[in-house]
Amino acid sequence: MSFADGSLAGRRVTVRVPGTTANLGPGFDTLGLALAIYDELTVAVRDEPGAFVEVDGVGAGEVPTDETNLVVRAIAHTFAAYGQELPGLHLTAKNVIPHGRGLGSSGAAIVSGVMAAKGLLEGIVEIDPLGLLARATELEGHPDNVAPALFGGLTIAWVTPEGPQFKKLIVHRGVSPLVLVPEETMSTALARSLQPESVPHADAIFNVSRSTLLIAALIQSPELLLAATEDKLHQSYRASAMPETDRLIQALRAEGFPAVVSGAGPSILVLCSDPGQRLAAADLVAARTATPWRSLVLAVDFKGATVITHPDEVE
């Protein structure tokens, strides 16, 4: 079914997507965690062709406001994947997730678009969870951020010949994330370019053991988080591009705080085992740096992305 008959006229959806932190130390390109910080998006079908985007908050005046906007491209990609014609769109975005700091802002934008498409196509095309993950991964390139943004909680993501797959796990209630956000940004492409083509066999084994331990620590035994967040695959190679991040992570870990680079950085994720440890970590950073770092005391998001349709507006 196409939209030549005007079946989308009057449709409007509201999407809410959490920020995410990927890798979590040793789980490079595999593990991701959804955080309770959200971008919200409203998409309405309009009579005029093309797309018009209004942005409030993070990225206002910076991100494109036409068809080149990443959210619009994600909507268009999803419509095309299911053989549907894209209508004219009016998007209103309220952005809170910091851009370029390792908190999954691009993944959230992509997931916002995929979920908006799902809502707009309700009753015409049904998109299941693996379909959502596949469409988002096609745009993002890897599923470690888009999986937790879509499904919430702690996710393990992997790719098969049939497409990306995921497993969602519920995080132990004692796990208390703290994200430390600097003023400067980091390009994910630059961070990835610093990775070597291969790593020593011993380092690969080290990360297999730590990533396995990390799953146990996050879902059952938070007291193991310091040992479980050790990594030899990516953080040391990227340290030269974000020296202040690396210095603070070393200082935090030396005092017993499970600190790692959040995603591609330069933000720092501290996976504390209780709220008191989280406040002590924030105090340490405030005392050890002269540059501004914003402390985000966040819960784990367990719900993931949501979409609300407004059927009363459908003709």
Report, at the CATH architecture level, how domain 176-297 is classified: 2-Layer Sandwich (3.30)
Query: Phi/psi at 309 (nearest 5 deg)?
Result: -95, 155
- Whole-angstrom distance, CA of residue 244 vs CA of residue 183: 11
Q: What is the mean pLDDT of the chain?
A: 92
- Whole-angstrom distance, CA of residue 254 vs CA of residue 32: 24
Q: What average pLDDT does range 108-123 have in this prediction?
A: 97
Q: Residue 264 corresponds to which amino acid?
A: A
Answer for the pair 160, 250: CB distance below 8 angstroms, yes or no.
Answer: no
Q: Residue 104, annotated ligand binder?
A: yes
Query: Strand ranges (DSSP E) for 47-162?
Result: 51-57, 88-95, 154-160
- Whole-angstrom distance, CA of residue 182 vs CA of residue 268: 9
pLDDT tier at 232 (50, 70, 90 boundaries)?
A: confident
Residue 138 has pLDDT above 90, yes or no: yes
Q: Residue 238 corresponds to which amino acid?
A: R
87 upstream amide cis, omega within 30 of 0: no
pLDDT at residue 315 in the model: 42
Residue 240 has pLDDT above 70, yes or no: yes
- Specify the domain boundaries for CATH 3.30.70.890 within the chain: 176-297
Residue 171 DSSP code: P
Q: What average pLDDT does range 67-83 have in this prediction?
A: 98
pLDDT in tens, 55-68: 999 999 999 999 99
Answer for the pair 196, 209: CB distance below 8 angstroms, yes or no.
Answer: no
Q: What average pLDDT does range 187-200 have in this prediction?
A: 72
Residue 66 DSSP code: S
Residue 312 has pLDDT above 60, yes or no: no
- Specify the domain boundaries for CATH 3.30.230.10 within the chain: 12-169+301-313
User: Which range, of 186-190, 227-231, 233-237, averages the lowest pLDDT?
Assistant: 186-190
pLDDT at residue 21 in the model: 98
Q: Residue 100, annotated ligand binder?
A: yes
Q: Residue 154 corresponds to which amino acid?
A: L
Burial of 198 (0-12, 13-18, 19+ CB in 10 A): exposed
Residue 6 has pLDDT above 60, yes or no: no
Answer for the pair 132, 150: CB distance below 8 angstroms, yes or no.
Answer: yes
Q: Residue 107, annotated ligand binder?
A: yes
Q: What average pLDDT does range 67-92 have in this prediction?
A: 97
Q: Residue 215 corresponds to which amino acid?
A: I
Which tokens is 262 given?
A: 């959040």
pLDDT tier at 1 (50, 70, 90 boundaries)?
A: very low
Q: Residue 106, annotated ligand binder?
A: yes
Residue from 289, 177, 192, 267 nearest 233 by CA: 192
pLDDT at residue 106 in the model: 96
The verdict on pTM exceeding 0.95 is no
Query: Phi/psi at 188 (nearest 5 deg)?
Result: -60, -40
3-state secondary structure of 167: strand
Q: What is 12-169+301-313's CATH number, 2.60.40.740, 3.30.230.10, 3.30.1300.10, 1.10.150.110?
A: 3.30.230.10
Q: Residue 99, annotated ligand binder?
A: yes
Q: Residue 304, annotated ligand binder?
A: no
Q: Residue 187, annotated ligand binder?
A: no
pLDDT at residue 302 in the model: 97
Q: Residue 103, annotated ligand binder?
A: yes
Burial of 136 (0-12, 13-18, 19+ CB in 10 A): buried
Identify which has the larger pLDDT, 6 or 201.
Answer: 201
